[in-house]
């Protein structure tokens, strides 16, 4: 979810038929608003997914329909994923309350920070209205403001580096 921007419902509903483990193409079927979109999974995540698929087949005894399942083969619940995300955040020493949607938000903020292209973020998130996506620019703008204010406070003259 952190590296693709998937919503919780999209992640738990993801099926193996929608993921190409060679090219990394991930097809999101009927996302929010019944919209389809295509995303791409990086090589590190693809390798982890390939390993999981092998483990999953061995544990379940057959190829499961869904990507994220219990060891019995049934899809994981949203509640389980929420608890898992919180548990791993605590284990990582993160004090902030972490939840699945925060992973999506972080993905969007990072994508915007890396590309500066809000329309690209809009498409990756599957937003039909750009104003929904614009919240991620405000986070980025606040970071720029904070960084620039910190620069000003630390320079001997406000004009020395402008």
The answer to whether 104 is a known catalytic residue is: yes
81 closest CA partner among 10, 17, 20: 10
Burial (Cβ within 10 Å: 0-12, 13-18, ≥19) of residue 86: middle
Catalytic residue among 35, 101, 117, 119: 101
- 7 as an active site residue: the answer is yes
Q: Is 119 a catalytic residue?
A: no
- Tell the residue number behind the tokens 């990394």, with chain if given: 24
| Catalytic-labelled residue, pool 17, 32, 51, 117 | 32
| Active-site residue, 79 included | no
Annotated active-site residue in 79, 91, 96, 127: 127
Cα(119)–Cα(133) distance, integer angstroms = 8
Residue positions annotated with a catalytic role: 7, 32, 101, 104, 127, 136
């Amino acid at each position: 979810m952190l590296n693709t921007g998937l919503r919780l419902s999209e992640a738990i509903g993801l099926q193996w038929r929608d993921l190409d483990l060679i090219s990394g193409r991930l097809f999101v079927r009927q996302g929010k608003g019944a919209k389809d979109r295509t995303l791409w999974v990086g090589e590190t995540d693809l390798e982890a997914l390939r390993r999981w698929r092998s483990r999953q087949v061995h544990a379940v005894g057959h190829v499961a329909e869904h990507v994220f399942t219990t060891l019995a083969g049934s899809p994981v619940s949203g509640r389980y994923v929420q608890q898992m995300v919180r548990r791993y955040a605590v284990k990582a020493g993160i004090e902030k309350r972490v939840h699945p949607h925060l992973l999506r938000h972080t993905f969007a903020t990072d994508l915007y920070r890396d590309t500066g292209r809000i329309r690209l973020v809009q498409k990756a998130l599957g937003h039909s209205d750009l104003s929904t996506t614009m919240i991620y620019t405000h986070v980025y703008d606040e970071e720029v403001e904070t960084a620039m204010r910190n620069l000003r406070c630390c320079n001997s003259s406000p004009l020395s580096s402008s």
